Chain A
């Protein structure tokens, strides 16, 4: 093997690794949460688009805490969604099928879009349900199993 392993590498980080950007972000969240409370305006912040150090992210996570709800969505890989201790601020982390983070977002909203059932899915589901119902014996006193108009 080459002598590469002999080259000592030492990365020098700022003392506590905090850049100050995490702190600035919390102020930003404060403004956006106020807008959600007063005007119902939703918003989202892409964490990967900001120069945050690992320490900044950790600080942010610790500061925001974990709230009452968590969801895992299985669609083209995992998506993890949880509400932070500050209701209305959600962390949504999207992973690829091989487990890499492809987007990491703080959403300021009452309900992240990825959890909401897409309208087209409701229409499709109604059709599928009807089809499945067709395979069951009809209820006594009814001639068909068709669900009423949705």
Chain B
């Protein structure tokens, strides 16, 4: 695909029909929890989009985020997304290596100066002048600063680049920091999660392409479309929570009955992520559905918040907003219901 073709032209050339594209947009709208009536507008916007250059930098990380991205549930979705982006530099996915790879990055940065999307996974080591983590003799922190200069926006993929993640966990031996601590003069979108849900990564990129703008973000710079609700807000075990029915051990009667995992340490009430709706592994399941509480992996410092198996300290079951009310509200009163939920969750978080 050459750079001045629109996405529609490029896809048609590859034998993807216009109806198939419309269908893809319907799936994307559903995934992004956009109103279904928005799919045609989405299709129209995306069809006219020109693919932006993407430079992807990996710092102190485990490659789980890239692994996650390449496992999107909808095979054609992944292909389409890669068609939409011009992935000019990605150490794990690119064929070039060594000097050739570094040269490719420099060339892409120069060619697209001011326009490219910089994607970062991994935290940035700042200890010993950044020498804990280097690529081709350059400290990650210097590479980031340099690459950020010509970027239109930065997408921090994963909890490590969003909040520091596991490298930053106590005692943080490498003085690891999130991207937002290093770069202050560019728009930053955090896609947190350890790893983030693949469809959330592709969804955010597609949204940026369609609307050419940064999506609405929460106080941690996470897109509200995916991080607007807590796991608890959308958890199918929620009716048991509301009835005060809790599993007390992983093999008791309550656990077998599928009751709420709050007392086994579930962090769902204070964790904003889309696991309960988008789910994992081709939408097969998510941790709570598989019998384990949420670890809170998409929140800052989740690793240092005490035991994964200790219940959140504040009892919240006095607050019995029935699920049905929120659900029906999703149709007519969505905004108000979400605001109430957010207020309630905020209070729980603050009381931690």
Contacts and interface: CB of A to CB of B under 8 A. Distances in A.
B297 interface: no
B256 A102 contact: no
A149 interface: no
Interface in B236-286: 236, 239, 251, 256-258, 277, 282-283
Contact of A100 (B39, B234, B282): B282
Interface stretch (A10-18, A57-65, A132-140): A10-18
A98 B75 contact: yes
A5 B19 CA distance: 45
Interface stretch (B54-62, B202-210, B328-336, B339-347): B328-336
B190 to A, nearest CB: 23
A14 B239 contact: yes
Interface in A100-129: 100, 102-105, 107, 113-114, 118, 120-121
Contacts of A45: 36, 331
Given A14-B239, A19-B327, A97-B75, A75 B20 contact: yes
A21 B327 contact: yes
A76 B16 contact: yes
Interface in A11-65: 11-12, 14, 19-21, 24-25, 28, 42-46, 48-51
Given A14-B239, A75-B20, A114-B19, A48 B258 contact: no
A141 interface: no
A28 B257 contact: no
A56 to B, nearest CB: 10
A105 B36 contact: yes
B36 to A, nearest CB: 4
B119 to A, nearest CB: 25
Interface residues on B, range: 35 or more
A20 B324 contact: yes
A7 B251 contact: yes
Q: Is the interface of B mostly helix, strand, loop or mixed?
A: helix
B289 to A, nearest CB: 11
Given A19-B324, A21-B327, A24-B328, A76 B29 contact: no
Contacts of A113: 22, 39-40
Contacts of B18: 118, 120-121
B19 A11 contact: no
A28 B333 CA distance: 12
Nearest to A109: B37
Nearest to B76: A76
A79 interface: yes
Interface in B298-352: 323-324, 327-328, 330-332
Given A9-B258, A50-B331, A120-B8, 18 more contacts: A7-B256, A19-B324, A24-B331, A44-B35, A45-B36, A45-B331, A46-B29, A46-B35, A49-B30, A51-B323, A51-B327, A51-B330, A73-B23, A75-B19, A75-B20, A76-B23, A79-B19, A96-B74
14 contacts: A10-B257, A20-B324, A28-B332, A44-B37, A44-B39, A51-B234, A75-B19, A94-B27, A97-B76, A102-B27, A103-B30, A105-B30, A105-B36, A113-B22
Interface of A: 7-12, 14, 19-21, 24-25, 28, 42-46, 48-51, 73, 75-77, 79, 92, 94, 96-98, 100, 102-105, 107, 113-114, 118, 120-121
Please name the 7 residue pairs, one residue from A and one from B, whose CB atoms are nearest each other, closest first.
A44-B36, A75-B20, A102-B27, A76-B20, A118-B18, A46-B36, A103-B30
